[in-house]
Amino acid sequence: MAWPLLLLVAVPIVAGLGSLLAGRRRTVEVLQCVSAVTMLASAVLVADRVIAGGSAAVEGFLHTDALSAWFDLILGVVGGTGTLYAVGYMGESMDRGHLPLKRYRQFFCLFDLYLAAMLLAVNLENIAIMWIAIEGSTLSAALLIGFDRSKEALEAGWKYIILSSVGIALALFGTILVYYSSEHVLGVSSEALRWSELYRVAGELDPAAIKLAFVFALIGYGTKAGIAPMHTWLPDAHAEAPTPVSAMLSANMLSLAVYAILRFKAVTDKTVGPEFSGSLIIVLALLSLAVSSAFFLVQRDYKRLFAYSSIEHIGIALLGFGIGGLGVFAGAWHLMNHALAKSTAFYGAGLVFLRHNHKSLERVTGLLDQMPLAGTAILVAGIALSGLPPFGLFSSEVLIAAGAYTAKPDVAYAFLALLAFAFATLLYQVLRMALGTPGEAGTAPGRQCRIFTGAAVGINLVVLSAIGLQVPPRLEPLLASIVTLFGAGIEVPR
């Protein structure tokens, strides 16, 4: 039995339910810290085990291969720092009297269940049970987005739940179609819903049914991944949700949705070849890039700015997966770096919001002077997100551009043009926020808030910089097996 794997999924659930029942605030804080540390540690241990043994499993329930382990790392590390950040952020709201203890406990219960549902989803081998877990994360996210109960938050939450429900319903139809075609090969049993079995018999599945299933899964899970034109819920939800939730939406949930698409893509590629799924993904990815670049210019709200940047980066990662080969490697690498950088950016944005209580981009300047922690977070994350070295997003974007250039030059031209535009606008706004002289004074967050949010930002920045210059040799086997899942094996570049 793989204990780290079990802990990774079970501890957030226990901590969440414990927080709901806890009598005192201190108990909730201790539970959350334990949960955060467990998530961080067990994600690393699970990945370690998969690197050593190829896979990890809790018999009959969880199964982790290289792709799952990669997303365990993303979700576990960012989920851990996100929990620490939430303790600081929500604690500050409570200290200021905006949040009664009962709502504080409810928040952490929902937050932990949300993280647990996502961690569960990436470690399940049954595609239908994976759907159930993803739907669970959708539902808890809906309550978290509307948590503030302001008009704007309710509107954003309503938009999210309606669009995601439709998306997730279409994804279930895609899942049913896979089952519809696989049960003729594997028989009417739950075997016909296991990834490993589907990969094994992919060659015998009906090509037309699998193509149709992929289209439904792409549109369905694509809605959850926020790719254009199904992205309309995303900026609203990211802007109106409490900031710890915005960070988790962007870093974890969008990555999870991409994971689901990738699972379907792997089956489709083995059945009908990579050309079909690849070209569909490339079109949607370029559209997402175009939409996000266009809306970068008109943003007046710093949380919305980062939200559009998420649409951009998910588009870039998908472009890599669509191109295939080296692009798959770059896409996976991009997702991890994006999750770390974007959550850091939101952590900074949340601190700014706590201080000034508004989200207006124009009125925020001189953060480095006024709030060194938030300023550093936004500046470093902003530089990484613009795709500048020495961060991993630079190398993945170069690799994707190079991959696109060899496979489809037209795609590479469009990609580079859109990328240059997004680079300029994002970097301009981030520099303007971070540098200069501070405007308004605002109310500085308390000491406890600074400690917890500082820890979250610190861990993220350390990991982001550590993996920025080169892929750690320990992670290479993991990436190599992910690339093999989508076709030909290649040498992982150093």
Partner 1 sequence: MSLLSQQLGSQMVNLGSALLLLTCFAIVAQRRLTACVDMFAVQSVLLAATAALVAFLTGIHHIYIAAALTVVIKAVLIPRILKQVVERLNVTRELVMNVNIPASLLICGGLVMLAFFITQPIIPLGFLLTRDSLAISLAIILIGFFTMIARKKAVTQVIGFLVMENGLFLGATSAAYGMPLIVEIGVFFDVLVGALIIGIYTHRLQDAFDSVDTTKLTTLKE
Q: Which residues bind partner 1 (CB under 8 A)?
A: 126, 128-129, 131-132, 135-136, 139, 142-143, 146, 149-152, 154-159, 161-162, 165-166, 169-170, 172-173, 176-177, 179-181, 183-184, 188-190, 193, 206, 208-209, 212, 236, 239-240, 295, 298
CB of 265 to partner 1, least distance (A): 19
Q: Which is nearer to partner 1, 209 or 368 (CB)?
A: 209
Q: Which is nearer to partner 1, 136 or 442 (CB)?
A: 136
Buried b (16+ CB within 10 A) or exposed e, 147-158: bbeeeebeebbe
443-447 contacts at long range (C-beta below 8 A, 24 or more positions apart)? 443/96, 443/354, 443/355, 443/357, 444/355, 444/371, 445/88, 445/92, 445/351, 445/354, 445/355, 446/92, 446/95
CB of 319 to partner 1, least distance (A): 24
Q: Which is nearer to partner 1, 92 or 312 (CB)?
A: 312
Q: Which is nearer to partner 1, 141 or 433 (CB)?
A: 141
CB of 102 to partner 1, least distance (A): 16
Looking at residue 491, the DSSP 8-state letter turns out to be P
CB of 196 to partner 1, least distance (A): 16
DSSP H helix total and E strand total for the chain: 20, 2
Indicate the length of the chain as a whole number.
494
Q: Where are the beta strands (DSSP E) in 342-388?
A: none
How many Å apart are CA 371 and CA 377, to the nearest integer?
A: 10
Tokens standing for residue 68: 């799952």
Q: Which is nearer to partner 1, 138 or 460 (CB)?
A: 138
Q: Which is nearer to partner 1, 158 or 199 (CB)?
A: 158
Q: Which is nearer to partner 1, 136 or 487 (CB)?
A: 136
Q: Which is nearer to partner 1, 184 or 432 (CB)?
A: 184
CB of 425 to partner 1, least distance (A): 15
Q: Which is nearer to partner 1, 139 or 381 (CB)?
A: 139
CB of 135 to partner 1, least distance (A): 4
At 296, which helix (H) or strand (E)? helix 274-296
In the three-class reduction of DSSP (H, G, I as helix; E, B as strand; rest coil), residue 162 is classed as helix
Instruction: Determine the Cα angle at 164 with ends 162 and 169, to 5°.
Output: 100
CB of 165 to partner 1, least distance (A): 5
CB of 300 to partner 1, least distance (A): 10
Alpha helices in 96-194 (DSSP H): 101-122, 127-145, 151-186
Tokens standing for residue 195: 């990834």
Buried b (16+ CB within 10 A) or exposed e, 449-485: bbebbbbbbbbbbebbeebbeebeeebbebbebbbeb
CB of 44 to partner 1, least distance (A): 30
Looking at residue 360, the DSSP 8-state letter turns out to be B
Assess contact for 181 and 209: CB atoms under 8 A: yes
